[in-house]
Structure formats: C-alpha cells, structure tokens
Amino acid sequence: MYRPKSTSVIVSAAALLGLALIGSACSSAPEEPLLRQFFRASQLRDNATLANFSAATFDPRTDGVVSGFDIVSVGEERRQPLMLKELAATADQARIADEEYSKKMKEYQDANLAAIERVLKAETAGQPVAGRDAAVQAAWRRWRDEASASSKVVSDARAKLSAERPVVELSAQNLNQAVDVTSVQGETVSKDVTIMAQVRSPEGATAEQQMVVTLTRGMFTLPSAAEPVAGRWIITKIEKS
C-alpha cells in the first residue's frame, strides 16, 4: 500500500479548503467599492467625481469624515415603473396648454387695452371701477387668476420631471449607447445599505455612527436589447440613525 500518495491528497484537500475559507473571508459586498469611492471623494470635496455617481452629499465641514465602515445589511430591492416618459408628456401638454391660454389672454388684452389700463390705474389708486370697466375688471381678474393657475400646472409638471430625471440619466451613463430617458420604458430599482461607520466630526472627535445609504439605478427596455439593460447604481440618499 502506498500511503504517502493518500496523505498527499488529504493535505491538498485541506490546503484547498483553507484557501477557500481565506478567499471567502477576504471577499467584500459588491456595494462596498461604490461607498468607499463616495466617502473618499466626499472627504476631498471632489464634487466633479461625486457628480458622476451620487445625488447625495456628505460634507466634511458639517457631517465629518468617514475613515472606515462595515456593511451591516443590504435590504431587498424595491422596484417601480419608470415614469419619465409619462412625466415628460404631461409637462409638454401643460406647456402647450399654457401657451394657448397666453395667446387667448393676449387677444383679449389687445381688444380691451384702454379699459384694462383704466382698471389697473384705478386699482393702483384704490379707486372703485364702474360701468363697462367693472365688467372688464372682473374678466381681467379671471384671466390673471387662470393664467397663474396654468403657469403653476406647468411649473409643477416640470418640477416632477426634474426631480426624477437626473438620477436616471446618471444611471444610464454606463450604457454603450446614448439613451433619452424620457422616451424609454423600464423601471427604477432601489435598495438600502446599512453601514456602521467610523466618523471623525468637524471638531475632531471620532465615533461610530450607523447610516442607511440608498442606492438607485434604472432598468431600461431598449429596442436594441432583448432583455432589460441595467444602468449603474447611484447613491441617492444618506440617513444617519
């Protein structure tokens, strides 16, 4: 019987097991490199770098400096439909309606300019308006109120679009083709990463602090791809526990 050969196999298996355990111990969560890059750039106040992958801030002058962290947990992914196409359409429709209303208002103004000027002069002086000018005053007030309401609809629609668009556009920048995020379907995916960080305050004291970092990315349905295409993860929010 040639026992050394058998022993050699046993030793090799043990060595492989040891290497596997070491490799497992040294592995890191996939979210870790992005978070390290974020805190490093934040410490340096490198806003140009941060603008490439973050919509959140961690200002060393007010929040302190993260010298290290451990990932405690990664939450389940949350998905919701990508609404930029619909928001862009709503904003465009509101703009067109506002332009049409402004055109009609201008036509009324041009047809009643002298009376409107008398009304405005009387309102400025705090004087009452009577006769035909009173009817013009009531009509012009309605025109102004409705114009204000129409402008607010446009402003609100644009605000909703502006709130959603930047993160999705950042996420799409890793794709091999230019993507108009307001014209494609898809969904946004978000997850929360809980970390325990060592934070040096602006005053110089160091303490552990738990934070929840929210990551978001877009999943895009493109005509050129059979499957949804994943954008890169963007840091969208940091909450201190």
SS3 192: strand
Look up the pTM and report it: 0.76
Residue 192: what pLDDT? 98
Residue closest to 231 by CA, chosen among 161, 162, 184: 184
80 sits in which H/E element: strand 78-81
Amino acid at 29: A
pLDDT digits (tens, 9 = 90+) for 148-183: 999 999 999 999 999 999 999 999 998 988 899 999
pLDDT digits (tens, 9 = 90+) for 65-110: 999 999 999 999 999 999 999 999 999 999 999 999 999 999 999 9
pLDDT digits (tens, 9 = 90+) for 2-21: 344 333 333 444 444 343 44
Residue 224: what pLDDT? 82
Backbone φ, ψ for residue 61 (5° rounding): -75, -25
Q: Are 210 and 195 in contact (CB under 8 A)?
A: yes
What is the average pLDDT value for the chain, to the nearest integer?
A: 89
Q: Are 168 and 233 in contact (CB under 8 A)?
A: no
